[in-house]
Amino acid sequence: MWSYSLKRAATTTVTLLAASVIIFAFIHIVPGDPIYVLLGDTATPDQIDALRHQLGLDQPIILQYLTWIGHVTEGNLGRSIFFQAPVLSVIADGAETSALLATMTMIWVTLIGVPIGMIAAVRHGTWLDQGLSGAAMLMASIPTFWVGLYLILIFAAWLGWFPSSGYPSIFEGGIVNLRYLVLPSLALAAPNAALILRLTRASMLDVSREDYVRTARAKGIRPWQVVSRHILRNALLAVVSAFGFTFAALLSEAVVTETVFALPGIGRLVVQSILRRDYPVIQGVILVIVVVYLLINLIVDLSYRLLDPRVELQ
């Protein structure tokens, strides 16, 4: 276990380094110049050259990368061209919203996808199974922004149960402000819960055909014990893997959701930074997303052994 953990940590480090090269190269290949965004079209050549030198953009691309990655290892992601503030603090301003949104979304995905998937598997072939499977396909096919608009229309505009946009920090108004994230998290959870539902159902049906499950039933073990101890636990391996990919999908889907609900999160920050050609912020945000994604997948891989001791990590 320890040797595998060290190997995965080393692999994660190499992957992160390769990702940093790709991120830096891609950001500098795309057209656009942040200098003109800051100074405007009326800037003189001397002003442009002076600001380019001040920001270090007149240096060779390799030297710019080495300088940037050296600062990253020290915890310094650079300075935002637009905000004129450390990139880390700019990201931190939106991290609370995005982290809480992702957490609430994963809670909804778990509470909706896994139990309903279990019910569909246990009632396999019945009208209930067909109805739940059909509902899952419908949820998976509807775009997230469309779900969000309908949730705003019904629960914010008509019923007035939840706010339609914005998010004041829980550090300012307390935990009651989490109600601002209920509708966005439900919009994000809908297609992902459908995926987990279908995967839970399929995995449980596959496991239920195994010989040891038939043996357990032949011994007269109660049906709910067979499901909970023998079927569900082994079926969760595939579901846990999907949770890692689901979390990664949330990082990209959150861009649309945060825009629809006007949330001050990292996804919205990425869009604004791209429009402003704010290279340091774009690089910093994408790098943070890559780090989070790699850590989530590392945790998922290590959790296999906890769910099933028979699994050998290599």
- Kindly report the three-state secondary structure assignment for every residue of 146-175: HHHHHHHHHHHHHCCCCCCCCCCCHHHHCH
Confirm whether 228 is domain-assigned: yes
Averaged pLDDT for residues 245-270: 79
Q: Specify the pLDDT at position 165.
A: 78
Backbone angles phi, psi at 78, to 5 degrees: 100, -170
**Shared domain check, 100 and 10:** no
- Identify the domain containing residue 179 by its residue range: 88-307
End-to-end CA distance of the chain: 9
Q: Specify the pLDDT at position 310.
A: 57
Mean of per-residue pLDDT scores for the chain: 80
CB atoms within 10 A of CB 3: 9
Q: Specify the pLDDT at position 216.
A: 72
Collect contacts of 4-12 with beta carbons under 8 A, ≥24 apart: 4/302, 4/313, 4/314, 5/302, 8/298, 8/301, 8/302, 9/298, 12/294, 12/295, 12/298
Averaged pLDDT for residues 108-112: 90
pLDDT value at 305 more than 70: no
- What six digits make up the tokens of 133? 């499977």
Query: How many structural domains comprise the chain?
Result: 2
**Which among 23, 48, 73 is the end of a domain?**
73
Q: How far is 85 from 59, CA to CA, in rounded Å?
A: 22
Confirm whether 313 is domain-assigned: no
